[in-house]
Amino acid sequence: MMELLGLSILELCYIAASITFIMGLKMLSSPDKARKGNLIAAYGMGIAILATILFKEELTADKWLNYALILAGLIVGTVIGTRMALKVKMTAMPQMVSFFNGMGGACAAVISLVEFDHLLHTGKVEMSMLIVIILGLIIGGVSFSGSIIAYGKLEGKIGDKALPAGQVINIVLLLVMIGLGVFIAMADTQEALYIYILLGVSLLYGVLFVMPIGGADMPVVISLLNSFTGMAAALGGFLYGNQAMLTGGILVGSAGTILTVLMCTAMNRSLTNVLIGSFGGGGAGASGQSGEQGTVKEISVTDAAILLAYANKVSVVPGYGLAVAQAQHTVHNLEKILDDKGVEMNYAIHPVAGRMPGHMNVLLAEADVPYPKLMEMEDANDDMDNTDVVLVIGANDVVNPAAENDPSSPIYGMPIIDVIKAKNIIVMKRSMGKGYAGIENELFFHDKNRMLFGDAKDSLEKLISEVKNL
């Protein structure tokens, strides 16, 4: 095979692919460059795939069936992935992320099964390879089953179900996986039965650890499962000596782990509790208060428009309701109209608003909202005292004062967008329904707050019309 500076063409292609992965990941940290970064990383993956097919082994006629199957797999996967990506709505983006992540975990588990079978048939059992296979199987299996359950919960097909003594069961399953893995690695003779039992336990753990978790905590779960898939892919890269697969897996695994820690901090959850599946909040009861908390005050569209048009600074707090109403373009139109009237408008983004990390950033970026207008929670809170009007659109738990005021609340201690510091608050909702945490929102009854009921997109369109007439 041709070489350049002592490196084969295949190795050079892997280095090029790894560089694109790093560049793409770096660009993903900025919403205005994220799309380009994603494309660069995708092209790098394409280079790695083609290089593996063309240069990994010598192309021979007797392997035509293998090449045909590889080509067929590429075509089928490309067609399915493209159609899903083009048809998916922004409200269903978290589901698609979970589904694709689960497929990555499944691939890692299948690789481990195939390579274990290969070791059995060759009779060359290396301890290091066996450990990698076992770890890949466990992590891939947990990632696959957990991601599919997360997909079902986000899609509304699976509810929050916690088994009695669920934490104990999860801990026992973890110990069983570790013990069985050690047994398979240390046994004098390997049998396929044990590896399939390990796969079954891994799949069961993935199901049980995600099942009780409430939708409000789903961003943490998605991030964690994404890091699992990355680690499983890295193990596969080590198994095959594939530098691009190893680099890509390490990047995804490490980035996912860092993001998981950030999400846990934003949700006031510990990573240990995530691993044993002890947190949730899907219907954990009220915030600790009973009875009527106060009087709900409504506001008309006309009065809301007057508040907005004559304000100096307006802050929008977007939530999942904005995605459901597909109102991101409409709120951007309101922003442009207010800007023409000399009103400064920004967006206060909570780290876990929506159903996946960065959901609101992606949603608003789709509507071409300028990146400088997207404020992180800490910056938004620092500026909240100078804000005349806060417009909460579809957000609930991330603005609930119970997180600061009520020790009995399931979300107590969770950092929130501190909208109460603003002079006026307008909450846009369809009804007085509770958020995904299943608790009452104290903000609805606050003296500064006014409720504007109705579909977010319809209400925003009416606001735009009224503001134009002022």
Q: Which of 160, 217, 397, 418 is catalytic?
A: 397
Asked if 120 contacts 112 with a C-beta cutoff of 8 angstroms, the reply is no
The CA distances from residue 382 to 214, 322, 369, 375, 379, in Å, are 30, 24, 22, 10, 5
Chain length of the chain: 470
Asked if 140 contacts 84 with a C-beta cutoff of 8 angstroms, the reply is no
Asked if 278 contacts 264 with a C-beta cutoff of 8 angstroms, the reply is no
Asked if 381 contacts 398 with a C-beta cutoff of 8 angstroms, the reply is no
Rounded to whole angstroms, the Cα distance separating 180 from 64 reads 39
Decide if 117 is catalytic. Answer: no
Mapping DSSP to helix (H, G, I), strand (E, B) and coil, where does residue 41 land?
helix
The two tokens of residue 447 are 């003296």
Residue 345 is classified by DSSP as E
Residue 421 is classified by DSSP as G
By CB atoms closer than 10 A (0-12, 13-18, 19+), residue 399 is: buried
**Within the chain, what is the greatest distance between any pair of CA atoms?**
83
Question: What would you report as the CA-atom Rg of the chain, rounded to the nearest whole angstrom?
Answer: 25
The two tokens of residue 116 are 């274990």
Catalytic center residues:
397
